[in-house]
Chains A and B, each alone.
Chain A
Amino acid sequence: MKSMFPIVCMFVMLIGCVPTKQIEKLGIVTSYGADLLEDGSIGNTLLYSQFDPNIKEPVQTAESQAHSYEGAIDAANLKTNYKLVTGQIRTKVFGKELAKTGIVRLLSTHFRDASEPATLYIAVSDTTAKDVLTSTTEVDLSKFLYNLIDNNRKREILPKSDLIDFLHKYDDVGIDPVQPLITIEKKRPVIDSIALFQDDIYVDSLSPEETFLIKLTTEKFKAGTHEITLPKEPFKEDIGYDTDKSDKETIHFVLNEIRSKSKVKLDDTEKLSYTVEIKLVSRLIEISEPLIIEDEKTIKKIEKHSSEHFTKQLEEMMEKLKELNVDPIGFGKIYDEETRNKKLTNKEWRDLYPTIDVKFNVKVEIIRHGIMQ
């Protein structure tokens, strides 16, 4: 019993020391948007949920002006009767202008404070973050934005783009992050393309077509879907009776259940020549023309042409990336791994990157093309 006394004492003393956060007294911030203002400070837009039985709309908006993220929350707190907390934040949107000046300074709390969530998505707005976060009041925008990114990532349309991934690629030398770029279409935010970052500075954007190529080289597909467009010429003899009489130049194929593997090899550390081996196994599920597939030959033809198509696209994209001096595929990281004895610096790589030579080697394999009678 004597030994229990100090423990009991300690408990009694500690009662009330832990600050309570009863959920009904909180304004739970679920989305945060930041824009660069004319005077150089940051204009903030917050979406938060509060639980007042008398207010019908669960999501409220607050705006504030500050120089930091935490400061923004404090400034916004003066405008609401709830205690604003950021532990449930799910999406952070940055205006294009702000993104051009770098965004990592507004993300540092997430790796400093344990109570800040680390599982959130980062997006760049095509216009301003405020436009995105105030675009509609019909839906819960926080949930909408989060699910917009989450579902597309799960469907293997977007590459990995959460906070952890962003910070990881930002910190590593020789690889740059990509994040979704959001525009507004019919008063709803939509993902238009992906934003390319040089470190944490927004540079340019890539189309969904190019996004697929980025994902193809950097990640593994497990069950992706993709539409490819090939010239009609080589398939002319295989096309059966066509009800559509209009003259078209192209033929479209849809591949699904794509499984892919990619391997980037540094062939020569001096000349900086790389080979990217991509193997793509998939099922052909849709063709825009009544193509008759009777033997292996037709399939082989499709495989050959789509491989060439991908290679060409990849080469074009590579040129663009080199021009922008952005390395989302991470060639620099591989260079750094190969040349272990000297540490690669960011500046060195920015100088070297435009001089690299990349050879793409794409192999498409169609293993099924459906049951057709």
Chain B
Amino acid sequence: MDKRTRAFQNSKKKGKLPLSIEQLKKSIKDQLHDEADLIFKKINVQNKNILVFYISYLIDKKRLDENLFTPLIYGDKDWTVEKLLAGLPLGESKEHQTVEDVCTKLISGSIGIYIESENKIVSYSILNNQQRPIEKPERESIVIGPQAAFSESIETNLNLVRSSVRSNDLVAEKFTIGSRLPTEVRLLYLKSLANDDDVQTMRQRLTDLKVDDIEDGSVLAQYVEDSSISVFPQFYLTERVDRFSYGISKGKVCVLADGSPEGIVAPTTFFGFFESTEDVYFRWNVATFFRMLRFIAMFISFILTPIYVAGVTFHYEVIPTNLLMTLGESRSKVPFPPVMEVLFLELIIELLREAGARLPTKVGQTIGIVGGIVLGQAAVEAGLTSNVLIIVIAMSALASFTAPSYLMGTAIRVIRYPLIIIAGLFGIIGVTFGLCLLIIHLLRMTSLGRPYFLPVYPFVYQDLDNALFRLPFGVSNKRSIAYRLKDDTRYKEKKSAKQKDIDDFGGYNEH
């Protein structure tokens, strides 16, 4: 422990109760470094000096007047700490032994009440929380299904989760992380379902996390995930309430952090990142089609441009003759080797995307569409790129945006670049080598200690459904077996198999 930390802790130890009103005032002022909006109100009821203090912009003034001052002054009682705790029409109360304690409450929107010469301070939380209303999700939009997104307030978020997972089984363990700027973090899971090891692992990682500050839920995820070298995300970060509670109902361990609209769902497999809650809302066959489409899109996204580079630079033999003619004609006007051409165009696309994301929405849209078309056309006419490549690049860029998880989409876009370069140097052998490295990397990865490539490696036949495709609900009545949940059956297969007919309810055929 260095000198400064020790000095800081010593200063905290000052201010033992009981104190006089003036002493207390001074002590609080010291603690809060002369906060300008710190209000002290001294009232005298039945010859007792009572000091009420709060930070004015943090609290709800209406409730302060109605529920505190009114009963305090007009109640005309002989106030004691016990009476304060019991006799005020306010909910969240606490007693404190030290001034430091009460100060930490003050900054999070509480008011403190001190009766002179008592050795306890009472605090009530009447926080006036400034928050934006619940909005539609913007990063993960879907067409059908619930349209609620998390906001920055953990209370609102917990409220949303609790109201979609209505079970007293839902545990929300509380952690405070950050030594300098503490943040409230909640660990949510279903007690009767979630694997105890998973819960314990996450609990351990949260408890052991010693950092000064976590900026956001996504930062917290980076602190607690398994491998920080990898480009692939290991926990699913979602702003969707339904996605979050879907995770909880599937026995996953979920984390919410205060001040962040991102919920963490763990453990997640590689294939989980291509799963959207919309897949559940759609009919199973349609959902399977879209899930497959996303896998193919992901594959196209990182393999198409490297294959183009390899084919055009080294392997003219494998290109179908008719395509070869088209490719050759469009390539013949380009002065660069294929790898430079591809990198150049990929760079343009990435610039467009980045610029589109940074600019205000209206300008951003124009940049995206007009920029794409105009620049592409201009590049072809200027003889900088071939027109076949424009299609190839556009396809792989589009495909990378189909991943429901934005983080996974960016990861796929990034791994494309090494593959392109390796394809330009060594051709298809290089691409194969790169893909092998990639697959080895993915196979070795874990998410909360669980294999990342489940259920393909290790192969779990029963889990293929819901991970790679979807089956009708009558058949798909199991939860993931590989995660070893406490209960892996959702409902009995037989019961769901037969749908009741109108004849089963009515008495039409009784006679």
Q: Does B381 contact A (CB under 8 A)?
A: no
| Interface residues in A7-30 (C-beta closer than 8 Å to B) | 11, 14-16, 18, 20-24, 26, 28, 30
B332 CB contacts on chain A under 8 angstroms? 24, 51-53
B-contact bits for A103-143, CB 8 A (1 contact / 0 none): 00000000000010100000000000000000000000001
Q: Does A90 contact B (CB under 8 A)?
A: yes
B324 touches A23 (CB 8 A): yes
B427 touches A18 (CB 8 A): yes
Q: Shortest beta-carbon distance, A19 to chain B, in Å?
A: 8
B314 CB contacts on chain A under 8 angstroms? 18, 20-21
Report the Cα distance A336→B314, complex, angstroms. Answer: 45
Report the Cα distance A117→B319, complex, angstroms. Answer: 12
Q: Shortest beta-carbon distance, B233 to chain A, in Å?
A: 23
* Chain B residue at minimum C-beta to C-beta distance from A49: B325
* Chain B residue at minimum C-beta to C-beta distance from A16: B425
A-contact bits for B320-347, CB 8 A (1 contact / 0 none): 0100110111011110011000000000
Q: Does B317 contact A (CB under 8 A)?
A: yes
A24 touches B328 (CB 8 A): yes
Q: Shortest beta-carbon distance, A89 to chain B, in Å?
A: 10
B315 CB contacts on chain A under 8 angstroms? 21
* Chain B residue at minimum C-beta to C-beta distance from A22: B313
A51 touches B328 (CB 8 A): yes
| Interface residues in A143-166 (C-beta closer than 8 Å to B) | 143
A23 CB contacts on chain B under 8 angstroms? 312, 316, 319, 324, 327-328, 331
B331 touches A24 (CB 8 A): yes
Q: Does A240 contact B (CB under 8 A)?
A: no
Report the Cα distance A197→B317, complex, angstroms. Answer: 30
B321 touches A88 (CB 8 A): yes
B327 CB contacts on chain A under 8 angstroms? 23
Report the Cα distance A58→B325, complex, angstroms. Answer: 9
A28 CB contacts on chain B under 8 angstroms? 316, 324, 328
* Chain A residue at minimum C-beta to C-beta distance from B427: A18
Q: Shortest beta-carbon distance, A10 to chain B, in Å?
A: 11
Report the Cα distance A52→B316, complex, angstroms. Answer: 17
Q: Does B457 contact A (CB under 8 A)?
A: no
Q: Does B282 contact A (CB under 8 A)?
A: no
Q: Does B459 contact A (CB under 8 A)?
A: no
Q: Does A87 contact B (CB under 8 A)?
A: yes
* Chain B residue at minimum C-beta to C-beta distance from A142: B321
Q: Does B426 contact A (CB under 8 A)?
A: yes
B-contact bits for A24-41, CB 8 A (1 contact / 0 none): 101010100000000000
The contact size tier of chain A is 20 to 34
A143 CB contacts on chain B under 8 angstroms? 321
A50 CB contacts on chain B under 8 angstroms? 328
Q: Which of B316, B328, B331, B425 meets A15, CB within 8 Å?
A: B425
Given A23-B316, A143-B321, A18:B328 Cβ within 8 A: no
| Interface residues in A180-217 (C-beta closer than 8 Å to B) | none
Q: Shortest beta-carbon distance, B366 to chain A, in Å?
A: 34
Given A20-B337, A22-B312, A51:B425 Cβ within 8 A: no
A18 touches B425 (CB 8 A): yes
Given A18-B425, A51-B331, A53-B332, A26:B325 Cβ within 8 A: no
A87 CB contacts on chain B under 8 angstroms? 316-317
Q: Shortest beta-carbon distance, A245 to chain B, in Å?
A: 52
* Chain A residue at minimum C-beta to C-beta distance from B334: A24
B321 touches A90 (CB 8 A): yes
Q: Does A46 contact B (CB under 8 A)?
A: no
B317 touches A49 (CB 8 A): no
A49 touches B333 (CB 8 A): no
B329 CB contacts on chain A under 8 angstroms? 51, 53
A88 touches B317 (CB 8 A): yes
Report the Cα distance A24→B338, complex, angstroms. Answer: 10
Interface centre among A16, A22, A30, A53 (most CB of B within 10 A): A22
Q: Shortest beta-carbon distance, A289 to chain B, in Å?
A: 45
Q: Does A85 contact B (CB under 8 A)?
A: yes
* Chain B residue at minimum C-beta to C-beta distance from A18: B426
Report the Cα distance A115→B331, complex, angstroms. Answer: 22
Q: Shortest beta-carbon distance, B317 to chain A, in Å?
A: 3
* Chain A residue at minimum C-beta to C-beta distance from B322: A143
B312 CB contacts on chain A under 8 angstroms? 22-23
B427 CB contacts on chain A under 8 angstroms? 18
B-contact bits for A48-91, CB 8 A (1 contact / 0 none): 01111100001000000000000000000000000001011010
Report the Cα distance A52→B325, complex, angstroms. Answer: 11
Q: Shortest beta-carbon distance, B281 to chain A, in Å?
A: 45
A16 CB contacts on chain B under 8 angstroms? 425
A30 touches B321 (CB 8 A): yes
B317 CB contacts on chain A under 8 angstroms? 87-88, 115, 117
Given A28-B316, A87-B317, A22:B331 Cβ within 8 A: yes
Q: Shortest beta-carbon distance, B421 to chain A, in Å?
A: 10
Report the Cα distance A11→B425, complex, angstroms. Answer: 9
Report the Cα distance A289→B337, complex, angstroms. Answer: 67
Report the Cα distance A47→B319, complex, angstroms. Answer: 18
A52 CB contacts on chain B under 8 angstroms? 332
Q: Shortest beta-carbon distance, A46 to chain B, in Å?
A: 16
Report the Cα distance A355→B224, complex, angstroms. Answer: 86
B319 CB contacts on chain A under 8 angstroms? 23
A11 CB contacts on chain B under 8 angstroms? 425
Interface centre among B314, B317, B319, B331 (most CB of A within 10 A): B317
B313 touches A88 (CB 8 A): no
Interface centre among A50, A51, A53, A117 (most CB of B within 10 A): A51
* Chain A residue at minimum C-beta to C-beta distance from B429: A18
A30 CB contacts on chain B under 8 angstroms? 321
B334 CB contacts on chain A under 8 angstroms? 24
Report the Cα distance A18→B316, complex, angstroms. Answer: 14
Report the Cα distance A58→B326, complex, angstroms. Answer: 11
A51 CB contacts on chain B under 8 angstroms? 328-329, 331-332
A85 CB contacts on chain B under 8 angstroms? 316
| Interface residues in A281-323 (C-beta closer than 8 Å to B) | none
* Chain B residue at minimum C-beta to C-beta distance from A146: B321
A-contact bits for B426-437, CB 8 A (1 contact / 0 none): 110100000000
A24 CB contacts on chain B under 8 angstroms? 328, 331-332, 334
Q: Shortest beta-carbon distance, A63 to chain B, in Å?
A: 22
Closest 8 CB pairs of A and B: A87-B317, A51-B328, A51-B332, A24-B331, A24-B332, A23-B328, A23-B316, A20-B313
- B positions within 8 Å CB-CB of A: 312-317, 319, 321, 324-325, 327-329, 331-334, 337-338, 425-427, 429
Instruction: Given contact pairs A23-B312, A23-B316, A51-B332, enumerate 17 new A-B contacts (beta carbons under 8 Å).
Output: A18-B427, A20-B313, A21-B313, A21-B314, A22-B313, A22-B337, A23-B327, A23-B328, A24-B328, A28-B316, A49-B328, A51-B329, A51-B331, A58-B325, A85-B316, A88-B316, A88-B321
- A positions within 8 Å CB-CB of B: 11, 14-16, 18, 20-24, 26, 28, 30, 49-53, 58, 85, 87-88, 90, 115, 117, 143
| 26 residue pairs A–B, Cβ–Cβ below 8 Å | A15-B425, A16-B425, A18-B426, A21-B313, A21-B315, A21-B316, A22-B313, A22-B338, A23-B312, A23-B327, A24-B328, A24-B334, A26-B328, A30-B321, A50-B328, A51-B328, A51-B329, A51-B331, A51-B332, A53-B332, A58-B325, A85-B316, A87-B316, A88-B321, A88-B324, A143-B321
